[in-house]
Amino acid sequence: MSHPHTPAFRVALSTGGGDAPGLNAVIRAAVLSALNRGWECYGIRDGFAGILSPKDYPNGGVIHLTRDTVRGITSLGGTIIGTTNRGHPMHYPTVGPDGKVTERDRLDELVNGLGAYGIDALVSIGGDGSMEIAGALARKGVRVVGVPKTIDNDLDGTVSTFGFDTAVAFATDCLDRLISTAQAHQRVMVVEVMGRYAGWIALHAGIAGSAHAILIPEVPFSIEKVAEKIRRREDDGRYFSIIVVAEGAKPAGGSVSVLEHETGRAERLGGIGDKVAHALQTLIGRETRLVVLGHLLRGGSPTTFDRLLALRFGAAAIRAIDEGQSGIMVALNPPLVNYVPLEEATSRMKYVPIDCDTMLTARDMDICFGDE
C-alpha cells in the first residue's frame, strides 16, 4: 500500500471502557498485520484522552507502536495503551471554574485531532460505548473498524466477546474453592459477580461451578424462593449452599443496586450481594458470607479461547481496513469471524434469553433462579 515517495498509511488503535483480558492480544495482532502491510501503527492513550487531553500526556498522547512494543504481550491482561470509562468524546467530562463537572460533545475535536496526526484509519476496541463512538466517527467520515470487547458478553452482533471466557473460568475456579469451605463450615456463601445488566457471567460460572441458586437481571427474584431452596437442601441433610448473584440482579418489583452515579460515565452497579446475604442469614438463621469477585474478573492472562479470538479480531480488523471497509465491527459468527454494521452492535444489549438451553439446563438440574 505504501510507496517510497508517499507517506506510509497510518492506522491508530484505541482501547476504551473497562479492560478485559485479550486487549493486548488484539493490539499485537493488529500491529503486526499492519506493519506487515508496510503501514505505520499508533496507539492513542487511555481511550481518546491522548488526543482530547494532550496536556495530561507530557510524553505524548499518541504513541508509536512497533514490533518491539507488542513483543510478548499476547498473554498479558490490561492494555499497553491504557483505557478509561470516563472519556466518551460525546459526553466528555469537563471541570468548570466552579469545580462542577459537566459533559461536553468533543467529537469534532477528535476528528480534527486524528487528522492532525495524519491517521488514515482507526481501530476502536471496546464495548458498547466504544462501538457507539466508532459509529459516530464513521458518520463524520473517519475510516473506522470496531473490535468488540467485554467480560460481560452483552454486545449484540457477535456470538462472543473476548474477556468473557477468562472471567467465567476464573469465577468458576472461585466457586470450586468456595464450595469446600462452605461445606466445611456449613455456611451459605453468596458470590457477587460483574456483568452489568446481563447475567451471562453469573449463569455460565454458576452452572459450571455447581451453584445452588443463580440470580440474574433477566429473572427478577424473590428472596423467599431462594430461602426455600436452601431449606429444601437442609431437609435433605445438606447444610451449605452456594448462591451466585449478578451485580445487576434485582428483586421482583425492585430495582438494581447502584453504588455510584457520576457525570460522564455509566452508573456503577454493586451491593446486591450484600443485601442477598443479609436477607438469607435472617431468613435461614445460618451463617452467611459474602464474596464480591469484582475487578478480579477483569484481571489475569486470557484463556486460550480469548487469546485466539482476540488475535483473530485484531487481524480481521486490519484486513477490513485494507479492503476499504468502514463503519463495521468484527464479530464472531462460528466458525467464522465476519463483519457486522456498527449499528447492529449498538442498537440493543444482548441479554440472556430466559428460554435458552443453558437456562433450561440449569432448571433441569434444579438450580434455583429465585422465581419458582
Binding positions for ligand F6P, rule: CB under 6 A:
18, 85, 127, 150-152, 194-196, 247, 268-269, 298
Min CB(195)–ligand F6P separation in Å: 5
User: CB 132: neighbour CB atoms within 10 A?
Assistant: 19
Q: Minimum distance between the CB of residue 80 and ligand F6P, rounded to whole angstroms?
A: 18
What is the spatial distance between Cα 310 and Cα 119, in angstroms, rounded to a whole number? Answer: 23
Sign of the alpha-carbon torsion through 49, 55, 59, 64: positive
Cβ 194 to ligand F6P, closest distance in Å? Answer: 3
Among candidates 138, 114, 103, which has minimal Cα distance to 48?
Answer: 114
Compute the least distance from the CB of residue 359 to ligand F6P, in Å.
20
Q: Is 162 exposed, middle or buried, given 0-12, 13-18 or 19+ CB atoms closer than 10 A? A: buried
Handedness of CA 175, 181, 186, 191 (dihedral sign): negative
Using Cβ positions, the residue closest to ligand F6P within the complex turns out to be 194
Q: Which conformational region is residue 38 in: left (phi greater than 0), alpha (psi within -120 to 50 degrees), or beta?
A: left
Q: Which helix (H) or strand (E) holds 247?
A: none
Shortest Å distance, C-beta 249 to ligand F6P: 12
Active-site annotation holder among 152, 154, 165, 306: 152
Q: Which of 241, 251, 249, 243 shows the shortest CA–CA distance to 191?
A: 243
Active site residue 152: yes
**Closer of 268 and 319 to ligand F6P (Cβ):** 268
**Geometric angle at alpha carbon 73, from 174 and 332, rounded to 5°:** 70
**Cα-only R_g, the chain:** 22
Helices 23-35, 304-322: crossing angle, 10 deg rounding: 40
Grid cell locating 339: 463483519
Instruction: Give yes or no for a contact between 168 and 244, defined as CB atoms under 8 angstroms apart.
Output: no
Nearer to ligand F6P by Cβ, of 188 and 216: the residue is 216
- Evaluated on CA atoms 126, 132, 135, 141, the torsion sign reads negative
Q: Which is nearer to ligand F6P, 10 or 91 (CB)?
A: 91
Q: CB nearer to ligand F6P: give 34 or 269.
A: 269
In the bound complex, what is the minimum distance in angstroms from residue 167's beta carbon to ligand F6P?
8
Residues forming the active site: 152
